[in-house]
């Protein structure tokens, strides 16, 4: 899974740990169930902790732990299943999550910009070619109609800043 | 109409480049069909029975003459010289080659039209009253809000991979000509204490589980329109079913949760975001309102003498009676162009007709054309004194069949002649019906009657809300047709009732004729419409006659 983080190839330092396996040293990524069951112990470790959160579970459950979490990995079982876009926006815009928001699963370049707009900053691509094309994919559009929490200028910002000429028949 | 600014144009150019890249990757094998499918669908490209089909978006059904000419050019250059207008105010081209699609898109982008979100599990083209801005019975022009929704919903990063497609319709008139109660979200613009707002309905829809939308808010102030829609969409995106394609529309979520519980969830979500960046303050609305160029209509008198003279001609009078509607401006009229000539597929127009209509729109109607969900075209700004001359020219190009709102003004899906989902061919049934009901005087006597045909349970032909609905089904490899009675798509929307066993293709026209004869025999007077008679009498007398032994 080639990982792209903050626009550049990155090594995945997190070890995914099965629910019944002992925790190794170093940063780990655990399931939602294990995380919630052992949250107090997990966030008390000296190592970074990440959680793999299913797209059918309310991300509000993570609220008490967000400041201690390094990674929330949201899943795209199929790229057509877009629940994680809403989860990402809630985590970023409503619950103020500042850590790494990682897209995992069926992650493809054609959705990368939308994911970024929803708040993802790390992408575990399925194909190496998609990881290589990441920055090109993010540059596909420079014009955005609707506001999200990503800070990109929207149609309204642009229009208010530069009131254009009066409309003529086009 | 709304005039695209630099922002809109730049965005569209980026879309064309993106799609060209995606097609190239598909042709090079870098994208497999499964990966490519949602990308092409998001650009309106379907793979049909015989070829790719391109569905072009006509935002809320409004076209300039120049845009209509561009559609004609695409029909000629990339297709077989015609296009098919749809019930969602769009147009489809049925014979486009994949390799040529990017060029067709680029040609359309020249006149700022495209196929964005005419397909796929995203927010589709927002539809509205084809008479918007002109209708005598409207509270306010709903196109401003349709445009606001268009911009907000275009490539929405959160709502592009929804459980299923999502359709919004908006009306601002007393008579609902946008079928808002059979949409995922229906918006009825109205005023309260001088303020503009919306009644919000959710969970309407046709298809295999038809539902009438439920009102979840009586009055939503205009400034909250987008935040409220975002709350609805988020509730749906997170909670809508994804386990079964037939249960994935919002209507099922609303039905399973109950409208009240659904509304509570939406209101709770909305409370979190209503004062955020989506607030439509005056500046935000004015920025879009100012880009609507509306014609400066002349100050004219109603019923000019030339019109009165022309009305002495019974042919003109018949056309005038069903194709011309009252306008909000004195001395003007709204004219519907019937795309339902006898013996032809409903909603089709040739490239030559499109060009001619564009010229007539320039000459007589301030260069503006609307697509109506009944698959006809409308000229919304015509001087009453020009009606006789316009009529003659419309007749000459075959778009003045005097059947608007009558039994042969049939809504039909493309059916098994084109569509890979269909069970039966809709078009031949429609053609035979128009031939059976070809007598102008007879259909005028029958009066208002909506007959809708779908080639399968997906109900693209809106058979559920036809006064008479016809649904194609397959039985032992043969095409059969179920008949429903009493459906309505307007503000008193209701789902038609199945009257009995499906009939063969050979029988369907006779059954319809017997239903009509039953009505003619039983109506209290010609003033009682078909649908009123069905409501008064119930379906029993119709059933008895429809299936009478022969």
Contact list in A for residue B237 (CB cut-off 8 A) is: 82-83, 85-86
- If asked whether residues B490 and B425 sit together in one domain, one would say yes
Instruction: Tell me how far apart the alpha carbons of residues A46 and B423 are, in angstroms, rounded to a whole number.
Output: 63
Examine residue A107 and state whether it is found in any structural domain, yes or no: yes
Per-residue model confidence as pLDDT tens digits over B75-120: 999 999 999 999 989 999 999 998 898 999 999 999 999 999 999 9
Using left for φ > 0, alpha for ψ between -120 and 50, and beta otherwise, residue B303 falls in left
DSSP string, B242-277: -S-GGG-SHHHHHHHH-HHHHHHHHHHHHHHHTTST
More confident residue, B269 or B96: B269
Candidates A60, A75, A144, A159, partner chain B, best to mutate (most B CBs within 10 A): A159
Number of domains forming the structure of chain A? 1
Examine residue B360 and state whether it is found in any structural domain, yes or no: no
Examine residue A166 and state whether it is found in any structural domain, yes or no: no
Question: Domain limits at A111?
Answer: 3-161
Q: Is the pLDDT of residue B463 over 80?
A: yes
Instruction: Tell me how far apart the alpha carbons of residues B257 and B249 are, in angstroms, rounded to a whole number.
Output: 13
Per-residue model confidence as pLDDT tens digits over B313-369: 999 999 999 999 999 999 999 999 999 999 999 999 999 999 999 999 999 999 999
Per DSSP, the three-state class of B343 is coil
Contact list in B for residue A110 (CB cut-off 8 A) is: 22, 35, 39
DSSP character at residue B338: P
- If asked whether residues B423 and B540 sit together in one domain, one would say yes
Q: Is the pLDDT of residue B413 over 50?
A: yes
Q: In this predicted structure, what is the pLDDT of residue A164?
A: 60
pLDDT tier at B382, thresholds 50, 70, 90: very high
Instruction: Tell me how far apart the alpha carbons of residues B277 and B224 are, in angstroms, rounded to a whole number.
Output: 11
Q: Is the pLDDT of residue B42 over 80?
A: yes
Tell me the mean pLDDT in the region B301-322.
96
Contact call for A160 and B287, based on CB within 8 A:
yes
Give Cβ neighbours of residue B538 (< 8 Å, ≥ 6 apart): none
Contact list in B for residue A63 (CB cut-off 8 A) is: none
Q: Is the pLDDT of residue B550 over 60?
A: no
Examine residue A110 and state whether it is found in any structural domain, yes or no: yes
Tell me the mean pLDDT in the region B519-542.
97
- If asked whether residues B281 and B185 sit together in one domain, one would say yes
Per-residue model confidence as pLDDT tens digits over A130-141: 999 999 999 999
Contact list in B for residue A111 (CB cut-off 8 A) is: 161
Contact list in B for residue A87 (CB cut-off 8 A) is: 238
Q: How far is B343 from chain A (nearest CA, A)?
A: 37
- The last residue of a domain, from among B289, B313, B331: B289
- If asked whether residues B104 and B146 sit together in one domain, one would say no
Examine residue A24 and state whether it is found in any structural domain, yes or no: yes
Residue A75 touches partner B, C-beta closer than 8 Å: no
Q: How far is A91 from chain B (nearest CA, A)?
A: 13
Angle in degrees, 0-180, between the axes of helices B101-109 and B6-27, rounded to the nearest 10: 180
CATH number (domain holding residue B58): 3.90.480.20
Question: Domain limits at B180?
Answer: 142-289
Q: What is the mean pLDDT of chain B?
A: 95
CA angle B11, B13, B18 (to 5 degrees): 95
Give Cβ neighbours of residue A133 (< 8 Å, ≥ 6 apart): A109
Number of domains forming the structure of chain B? 3
- If asked whether residues B88 and B168 sit together in one domain, one would say no
Instruction: Tell me how far apart the alpha carbons of residues B379 and B375 are, in angstroms, rounded to a whole number.
Output: 14
Q: Is the pLDDT of residue A169 over 70?
A: no
Contact A102, A124 (CB under 8 A): yes
Q: Is the pLDDT of residue B509 over 70?
A: yes
Examine residue B399 and state whether it is found in any structural domain, yes or no: no
Q: Is the pLDDT of residue B476 over 90?
A: no
Examine residue B298 and state whether it is found in any structural domain, yes or no: no
With pLDDT > 90 as the criterion, what percentage of chain B qualifies? 90
CA-derived radius of gyration, chain B:
23
CATH number (domain holding residue B424): 3.30.413.10
Interface of A with B in 90-119 (CB under 8 A): 94, 108, 110-111, 113-115, 117-118
Q: Is the ipTM of this complex over 0.85?
A: yes
CATH number (domain holding residue A32): 3.20.20.70
- If asked whether residues B68 and B156 sit together in one domain, one would say no
Strands (E), B80-176: 82-85, 91-96, 127-128, 168-171
User: What is the value of pTM for the model shown?
Assistant: 0.95
Examine residue B229 and state whether it is found in any structural domain, yes or no: yes
Q: Which of B15, B151, B237 sits opposite A83 (nearest CB)?
A: B237
Q: In this predicted structure, what is the pLDDT of residue A170?
A: 47
Q: Is the pLDDT of residue B32 over 90?
A: no
**How far from the centroid of its chain's Cα atoms is residue B482's Cα?**
23
Examine residue A64 and state whether it is found in any structural domain, yes or no: yes
DSSP character at residue B205: B
- If asked whether residues B283 and B240 sit together in one domain, one would say yes
Q: Is the pLDDT of residue A168 over 70?
A: no
DSSP string, B130-146: TTTTTBTTBSS-THHHH
- If asked whether residues B77 and B181 sit together in one domain, one would say no
Examine residue B239 and state whether it is found in any structural domain, yes or no: yes
Tell me the mean pLDDT in the region B388-415.
97
Examine residue A47 and state whether it is found in any structural domain, yes or no: yes
- If asked whether residues B76 and B206 sit together in one domain, one would say no
Q: Is the pLDDT of residue B379 over 70?
A: yes
pLDDT tier at B38, thresholds 50, 70, 90: confident
Q: Is the pLDDT of residue A116 over 50?
A: yes
Examine residue A170 and state whether it is found in any structural domain, yes or no: no
DSSP character at residue B525: S
- If asked whether residues B148 and B239 sit together in one domain, one would say yes
Q: In this predicted structure, what is the pLDDT of residue B339?
A: 98
Q: In this predicted structure, what is the pLDDT of residue B533?
A: 97
What residue in B sits closest to A163 (Cα-Cα)?
B287
- The last residue of a domain, from among B109, B125, B153: B109
Examine residue B390 and state whether it is found in any structural domain, yes or no: no
Examine residue A77 and state whether it is found in any structural domain, yes or no: yes
- B185-192 β-sheet, strand order: B127-128, B168-171, B185-192, B195-202, B214-221
Q: How far is A79 from chain B (nearest CA, A)?
A: 8
Per-residue model confidence as pLDDT tens digits over B420-452: 889 999 999 999 999 999 999 999 999 999 999
């Amino acid at each position: 899974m080639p990982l792209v983080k903050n626009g550049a190839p990155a090594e995945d330092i997190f070890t995914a740990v099965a629910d019944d396996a002992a925790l190794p040293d170093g940063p780990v990524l655990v399931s939602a169930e294990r995380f919630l069951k052992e949250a107090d112990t997990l966030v008390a470790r000296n190592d970074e902790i990440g959680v793999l959160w299913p797209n059918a579970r309310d991300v509000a459950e993570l609220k008490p732990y967000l400041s201690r979490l390094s990674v929330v990995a949201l899943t795209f079982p199929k790229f057509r299943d877009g629940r994680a876009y809403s989860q990402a926006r809630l985590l970023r815009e409503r619950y103020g999550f500042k850590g790494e928001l990682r897209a995992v699963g069926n992650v493809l370049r054609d959705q990368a910009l939308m994911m970024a707009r929803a708040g993802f900053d790390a992408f575990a691509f399925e194909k190496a070619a998609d990881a290589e094309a990441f920055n090109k994919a993010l540059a596909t559009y420079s014009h955005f109609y609707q506001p999200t929490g990503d800070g990109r200028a929207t149609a309204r910002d642009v229009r208010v800043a530069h009131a254009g000429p009066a409309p003529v028949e086009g | 109409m709304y005039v695209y600014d630099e922002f809109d144009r730049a965005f569209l150019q980026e879309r064309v480049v993106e799609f060209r890249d995606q097609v190239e990757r598909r042709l090079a094998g870098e994208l497999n069909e499964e990966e490519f499918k949602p990308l092409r669908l998001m650009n309106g490209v379907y793979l049909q029975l015989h070829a790719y089909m391109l569905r072009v978006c006509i935002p809320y059904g409004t076209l300039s003459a120049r845009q209509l000419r561009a559609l004609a050019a695409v029909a000629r250059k990339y297709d077989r010289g015609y296009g098919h207008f749809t019930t969602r105010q769009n147009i489809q081209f049925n014979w486009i080659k994949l390799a040529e699609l990017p060029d067709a898109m680029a040609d359309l982008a020249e006149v700022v039209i495209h196929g964005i979100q005419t397909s796929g599990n995203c927010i589709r083209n927002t539809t509205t009253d084809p008479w918007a801005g002109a209708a005598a019975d409207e509270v306010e022009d709903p196109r401003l809000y349709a445009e606001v929704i268009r911009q907000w919903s275009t490539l929405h990063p959160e709502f592009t991979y929804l459980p299923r497609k999502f359709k919004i319709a908006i009306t601002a008139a007393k008579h609902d000509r946008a079928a808002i109660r059979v949409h995922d979200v229906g918006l009825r613009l109205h005023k309260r204490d001088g303020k503009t707002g919306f009644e919000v309905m959710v969970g309407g829809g046709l298809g295999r589980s038809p539902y009438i939308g439920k009102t979840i808010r009586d009055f939503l102030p205009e400034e909250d329109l987008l935040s409220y829609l975002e709350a609805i969409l988020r509730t749906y995106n997170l909670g809508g079913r994804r386990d079964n394609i037939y249960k994935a529309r919002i209507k099922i979520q609303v039905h399973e949760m109950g409208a009240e519980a659904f509304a509570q969830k939406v209101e709770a979500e909305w409370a979190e975001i209503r004062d955020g960046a989506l607030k439509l303050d005056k500046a935000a609305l004015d920025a879009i309102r100012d880009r609507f160029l509306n014609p400066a209509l002349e100050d004219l008198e109603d019923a000019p003498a030339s019109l009165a003279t022309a009305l002495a001609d019974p042919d003109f009078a018949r056309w005038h009676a069903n194709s011309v509607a009252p306008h909000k401006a004195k001395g003007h009229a709204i004219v519907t162009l019937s795309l339902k000539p006898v013996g032809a597929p409903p909603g089709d127009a040739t490239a030559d007709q499109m060009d001619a209509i564009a010229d007539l729109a320039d000459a007589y109607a301030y260069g503006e054309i609307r697509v109506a969900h009944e698959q006809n075209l409308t000229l919304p700004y015509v001087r009453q004194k020009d009606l006789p001359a316009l009529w003659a020219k419309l007749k000459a190009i075959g778009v003045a069949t005097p059947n608007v709102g009558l039994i042969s003004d049939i809504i039909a899906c493309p059916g098994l002649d084109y569509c890979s989902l269909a069970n039966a061919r809709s078009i031949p049934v429609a053609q035979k019906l128009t031939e059976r009901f070809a007598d102008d005087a007879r259909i005028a006597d029958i009066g208002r009657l909506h007959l809708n045909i779908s080639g399968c349970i997906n109900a693209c032909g809106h058979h559920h809300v036809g006064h008479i609905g016809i649904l194609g089904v397959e039985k032992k490899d043969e095409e059969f047709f179920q008949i429903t009675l009493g459906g309505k798509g307007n503000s008193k929307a209701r789902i038609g009732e199945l009257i009995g066993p499906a009939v063969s293709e050979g029988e369907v026209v006779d059954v319809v004729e017997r239903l009509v004869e039953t009505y003619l025999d039983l109506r209290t007077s010609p003033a009682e419409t078909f649908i009123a008679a069905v409501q008064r009498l119930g379906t029993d007398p119709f059933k008895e006659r429809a299936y009478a032994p022969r």
